[in-house]
Amino acid sequence: MTIVSSILKTSLATGVAAVVALGLFGGLAIGSTSAEAADSCQWGTCGPHVDLRGMGPRVKCNGVGNTNPDNTMSVEAPDIRAVSVYRLGYAGGPMNVQWVAYHATLLRYNGTSFVKAPYAEQPWVSWSASSANDNSGYPSLAHDYWELHQNQWTLSTSGGRTFFTNLPVGAYRVSIEYYWFADPEDGLGAGYDVLPSELNDYVGMTSLYSDVHPGYCDYGNDPGGHPTWTFGG
């Protein structure tokens, strides 16, 4: 499977243009804490994109492994599903495969609210997702993740994760934008959403079975001046 032949059912150029356009107007909701219902859609047609608890993606408050710098946030690729499509004459239920993408933006607490942090813009990450109905008989996809750099899709080397490293002392959240590429063959338009940043699953790296810690990641220094991290919420 190559990105040129498979990133969209229309064309790669269309997909690039769509995501570039999101950079112009999709970020208006960054940092929003509106109480929209989970799995809502700010515009267009969106598939499911929260887990059974109504939460967004997992954000690890201190990186992955011991090779990353201190004060690192790691964002896992969200569980974004394709929009289900009912096909006449198919008894297994709704099924679909659709290209989706997410974009993570770092937010920092300024004493009043969480606002966009002065951190380098991170790339959109895209992959081919299946529909939410796992009992439809439609096979699950073993997918590659792709990152958008300077209007070119390149294979992700981080398994679809987004990293924010070497963060200064402070409290942080991550705002996640979700995008569903249009699928003209199935009559689907594009879709876009942003969940409130506090709905992400902020967890630690020290527990194999970490609990949910809604809120934020808080980085500080111990009495000896060494970096520390805790959960907020």
Tens of pLDDT, residue by residue over 80-139, are: 888 887 766 555 556 678 899 999 999 999 989 999 999 999 999 999 888 754 444 444
Q: Categorize the per-residue pLDDT at 233 as very low, low, confident or very high, splitting at 50, 70 and 90.
A: very low
Mean pLDDT of the chain: 73
Q: Is the pLDDT of residue 227 over 70?
A: no
Against a cut of 0.85, is the pTM above it? Answer: no
CA 224 to CA 169: how far, in whole Å?
14
Q: 193 CB contacts (<8 Å, ≥6 apart)?
A: 40, 41, 42, 46, 49, 177, 178
Rg of the chain taking only CA atoms, in angstroms: 18
Q: 102 CB contacts (<8 Å, ≥6 apart)?
A: 57, 77, 78, 80, 124, 125, 176, 177, 178, 179
Q: Are 105 and 125 in contact (CB under 8 A)?
A: no
- Which sign, positive or negative, has the C-alpha torsion 233, 64, 81, 155? positive
pLDDT reported for residue 50? 85
Write phi, then psi, for 155 (nearest 5 degrees). -65, 130
Distances (CA, A) of 28 to 8, 126, 148, 156: 25, 21, 20, 26
Q: Is the pLDDT of residue 202 over 80?
A: yes
